[in-house]
Structures are given as structure tokens and as C-alpha cells.
A and B are shown apart, each in its own frame.
Chain A
Amino acid sequence: MSGESLVRVENLYRYYGDFCAVNDLSFELKRGEVLGLLGANGAGKSTTMRMLSGNLAPSAGRIWIAGHDILDQPRQAKAALGYLPDQPPLYRELTVDEYLLFCARLSGVTRKACAAAVSRAKERCGLQEAGRRVIGNLSKGFQQRVGIAQAIIHEPEIVILDEPTVGLDPIQIREIRTLISELATAHSVILSTHILPEIQAVCSRVQIIHRGALVLNDTLEGLQRRMQAANLLASFHAPPAVVDLEGMPGVERVEQIAPGRFRLHVAAGMQLAEELVMLSVQRGWRLFELTAERISLEQIFVEITTRDSTAPLAHGEAA
């Protein structure tokens, strides 16, 4: 994960009238990283991406794309990024080839290199057969692919994809995910989604945005560690009292789910299973079920976004 930082965002704000859509957002993205922006509808994901791509001016704060300030040197900054908005920006009356050729030239690909760039983008997005078809007649999935092809046609260093897999069938979603993982080898990718498994499938870094503010910024490994810091489910034929269990070192809280069945909230980093088994044998609790419960990303997400706090909590490294 070491490398130069391709995207740097500092104290970004965006207001729509009095409504604050993006509230003091700062982060960095290094080469080779895939950043997943996660958030409920209306959390400010699209607004953030529109600002990163230069479509929307921030109310305050600065954005550097590949070392260029997007407001001071928009041309250099925009040359380094490819952007797919939530609705693919397609000219429906053109054919795929015409459209991609236009996009390539527009993004500054030289005339000579255009044909190669178009065929390469088509190949990566599985559009080889569709070159001569009119975009308006393509299915939604293919239109989405054309949109992605458009974003990567000039081999930008940063690819910004706003909900790239919306409206696709499961097979296409898998293909797009493979494509994103492929892109990540040479480019940096920022993608937004509200589909949680997608984040786990392709992202190396996750940010959760809630009401415009960054509430979580962590690598996927960090997140997985957090998900393992989990609970134990234990069932006994001769159950002990709750206080006995609570007395064990490392147990934060004990919940009785059913008679004889408990959920033990374990403090982060503690391994309790072995000790529990030993204790059960010593005291004759007759343990017959012991399950490690993992927190899913969904639980983390729900916990963070429904926590009713005005002050956003920053977790992990460098929020």
C-alpha cells in the first residue's frame, strides 16, 4: 500500500442552500488502492464524486487529483481521471464505436492512438461485438459497460465509478467486479455503492459516509479484524448464573437469549473459547454449543449509521 497519493481531499464541504451534503471530508487515496464509498441513499456519496470529478465546485476545501488542484489546474487534473456518473453519460444516437472514439479524443488521446484505445476499452468491458450497434438500442447492462469503457478509455490514473453495478444482472456484476479488480493493478479506483458484499469483494479500503460526514475510514483488513472481534454463543445443559459468566476476565457483557443459552460480548482482542470450555468442565456446566459469532459488515454499517450522534466518530487509522 505504499505509493504516491493520487487523490487528496482536505476539509471538503458542500452546501445545497442550507443543507450540508458533505461535511468536512478529508481523505487520501494511494496508487493501486480501491476505495469503496459506502453510505445510505442521500448520504453524500454522489455529491462527493461529482466534486472529485470537477462537475461540482466545493463550497469549501481542496481537492488534488494526481498532484493537480482541481480548481486551479482543472485540465491536468481532469486528464488524470475517468468518471462514470450514476447515470452513464451516453449519446444514445451514436454507435458504440463513434461514441468511444469521441470520448477518447475528448480525453486527449492522440489521433493515432485512438483506434487502439477504443478497441482496448471495448475488450476490457466485453463490448467487442457491440461496436457497430447504436447505444440507444443496447440493454441497460451494456449501456453501463459503455459508460465504464468511456471512463477508462484514456487510461486515467484515477477511475471514479458511481454505483457501477446498479441495474446489472448477477453475471454482469461479477464481470464488472473482475474488471474493477483488474483496473486496480494499474489505476486507483473510487467506487460508491450501497451493496455491502461488493465492498468486500473488490475494495482495499472502505469509507462509510453518513449525513455527509466520514464516520469510518479503514482498510479492508482492519475492517475484517474488527468483524472478528466478535461474540461467543454458548449453550449449557446445566447453565451457570449470569454473574458467573460475567466474572470471567475479558467478558464485557452477557446476554441471555434463551434458558441456558447466552451471548457473551467479548472485549476486543481476547480469546475466550478455550477458557470457557475448561471452566465448564471444572464446574460441570455441561457445555454443548459454542459458536463464534462474526459481525458482518452490514452490522457495522447499521451500527454506525443509525447511531444517533451529531459528532461523527472516527475509527481506524487516519480518519
Chain B
Amino acid sequence: MIPLIAARDLRSLFVSPLAWTILAIVEALLAYLFLGQVDFFLQIQPRLAGLENAPGVTEVVVSPLFGNAAMVMLLVVPMVTMRLLSDERRNLTMPLLLSAPVSMTQIVLGKYLGVIGFLALMLLLLALMPLALLLGGGLDFGMLAGCLLGLLLLLGSFAAIGLFMSSLTTQPTIAAISTFGVLLLLWIVDWNRAPAGDGDGSGLLGYLSMTRHYEALLQGSFNSADVVYYLLIIVGFLVLAIRRLDADRLQH
């Protein structure tokens, strides 16, 4: 049932122009960022050659690329997730799912899996860019894997938050705006602390910040605390979405 709902969602997404437009624009933006980074690497390459322990192409090109990709996704994911549940409400198709022999959990997980499928496709297209560098040199695959895992977890949390926001309203735009607000808040939550505080982000706000956990993974350092942070967000917001749908049946 879960893959079925996910497949239906993806199908609806890809028969509308929205999915294709988002894929095309994101790809173009990221390609532009990628080429800029490659250009920068080519400029500083002669100087790097003289250094001991010089950063390689992965550190100079790939990590910043994924860092920028996260910012782009911060803007794009709310557009993808906004319609997940609010559209079902608006088009009055919710009764179809609710009167079918499936549980709320299956509905929410199906929706989530569908959007993850779409985001994974985006991630795959993004991963092709660094892999293209293999034509002219080597890559630090451990670091690339860290970047990919980091972005996947990040996108997973974005999508879970977006799904929950979409369960709150019948208006997709409201879902998009509130998702964006929450994501941005989690992104910048420790900014005003940085100059005054201890600087290593060990406080509560530092822990809440999505940026810190993401940056660690981008540097290629795999810390289970970072992974757990994202998993907590994903599970937490999915549970909230399920509860929210359940509450729909109870009160009006």
C-alpha cells in the first residue's frame, strides 16, 4: 500500500509541469554553481600544487557545491511538499484514502516516500556533476558519500516538515510559506549566538541548527549524533502528521 500511494503521487507530480520545471530550474542553478566552483579550482590549482596537505578537488568543489545545494533546496522543497496533503483536501480526494483499507500511517508514509523519491531523483542528478570530474581526475569517495548522505538526510527532514505543514491546511501556499519559515528558522537558529557564545555551537540552539549537523557531514566526518538528529526530525514530524490526520476525523 505504501509504495502504491507513493507511486500515485509521483505519477501525478510528473504529469503536471511542476515537477519538470522544478527539476530543470534546480539543475540549471546547481550546474551554474558547480561550474563556478570548478572554475575557481582551476584558478587556484597552481598555488595548491605548492602546498603540503593541499585540499583536493572534492574539498574545493564538491563540499561547497553541496553546501549551496542545501540553500537551493531550502527554497525548493516547500514547493514540492506543499500540495502533498492540502491538495487531497482541496480536491476532496481524502475520502478515497480514508475509506480504503489503509491506515493513516500508511497514507503518510506513502506520501513521504513519494516525495523522497522525487527528491532522490534530484539528488541523483546533482551527484552526476561531481562524478563527471572523474573524467579528468580522482575524487575522495568517502567525502562524496558523506556529502550525499548529508544532503539526503537534510532533504528527508525538509520533506517531513513540509509534509506536516501540508497536513495542517487546505491552502498549498500557506503550507509552502510555513514550511519555508520553519526550515529557515532551523537553518539560522544559532546565527545570533555565534559571536557572543563559545563559538563551537555546543548549546541547545547550536544543537537545533540544521546547518551545524550538515556541515559536519560535508567535511566528511560521520558522527552518529548528526544522523540521529535528522532521524529524530523525520520521525517526529511524520508522527505529528499522522496524529494531525487522525484528529481530522475526530473534530470539526
Q: List chain A positions with a Cβ less than 8 A from chain B.
A: 16-17, 50, 53-57, 74-76, 78-79, 81-83, 85, 87, 89-94, 98, 102-103, 105-108, 150
Q: How far is the CB of A149 from chain B (nearest CB, A)?
A: 12
- Chain A residues near B103 (CB-CB < 8 A): 74-75
- Chain A residues near B15 (CB-CB < 8 A): 93-94
Decide: A94 and B11 in contact? CB cutoff 8 A. yes
Decide: B12 and A76 in contact? CB cutoff 8 A. no
Decide: B95 and A106 in contact? CB cutoff 8 A. no
Among B186-231, those with CB < 8 Å from A are: none
Size bracket, chain B contacts: 20 to 34
Question: Looking at the complex, which one of B1, B5, B95, B102 makes contact with A55 (CB distance below 8 Å)?
Answer: B95
- Chain A residues near B4 (CB-CB < 8 A): 102, 105-106
- Chain A residues near B1 (CB-CB < 8 A): 106
Decide: B96 and A103 in contact? CB cutoff 8 A. yes
Q: Mark B144-172, 1 if CB is under 8 A from A, else 0.
A: 00000000000000000000000000000
Q: Mark B77-103, 1 if CB is under 8 A from A, else 0.
A: 000000000000001111111111111
Decide: A98 and B11 in contact? CB cutoff 8 A. yes
Is residue B47 contacting chain A, with contact meaning CB distance below 8 A? Answer: no
Q: How far is the CB of A98 from chain B (nearest CB, A)?
A: 7
Among residues of A, the one whose C-beta sits closest to the C-beta of B110 is A106
Decide: A93 and B102 in contact? CB cutoff 8 A. no
- Chain B residues near A57 (CB-CB < 8 A): 249-250
Q: Cα distance A173–B94 when bound, in Å?
A: 26
A-B CB proximity, top 3 nearest:
A89-B96, A83-B99, A79-B101
Q: Cα distance A54–B94 when bound, in Å?
A: 12
Q: Cα distance A150–B103 when bound, in Å?
A: 19
Is residue B43 contacting chain A, with contact meaning CB distance below 8 A? Answer: no
- Chain B residues near A87 (CB-CB < 8 A): 92
Question: Looking at the complex, which one of A16, A56, A106 makes contact with B96 (CB distance below 8 Å)?
Answer: A106
Decide: A89 and B101 in contact? CB cutoff 8 A. no
Contact A150/B12 with A75-B101, A106-B1, A108-B101 known, Cβ cut-off 8 Å: no
Contact A93/B12 with A16-B252, A83-B95 known, Cβ cut-off 8 Å: yes
- Chain B residues near A92 (CB-CB < 8 A): 91
Is residue B8 contacting chain A, with contact meaning CB distance below 8 A? Answer: yes
- Chain B residues near A91 (CB-CB < 8 A): 8, 12, 91, 93
Is residue B21 contacting chain A, with contact meaning CB distance below 8 A? Answer: no
Decide: A78 and B101 in contact? CB cutoff 8 A. yes
Q: How far is the CB of A194 from chain B (nearest CB, A)?
A: 20
Is residue B16 contacting chain A, with contact meaning CB distance below 8 A? Answer: yes
- Chain A residues near B102 (CB-CB < 8 A): 75, 106
Decide: A54 and B12 in contact? CB cutoff 8 A. no
Among residues of B, the one whose C-beta sits closest to the C-beta of A98 is B11
27 A-B residue pairings within 8 Å (CB atoms): A16-B252, A53-B95, A54-B99, A55-B98, A55-B99, A56-B249, A57-B249, A75-B102, A78-B100, A79-B101, A82-B99, A83-B99, A87-B92, A89-B93, A89-B96, A91-B91, A91-B93, A93-B15, A94-B8, A98-B11, A105-B4, A106-B1, A106-B4, A107-B100, A107-B101, A108-B101, A150-B96
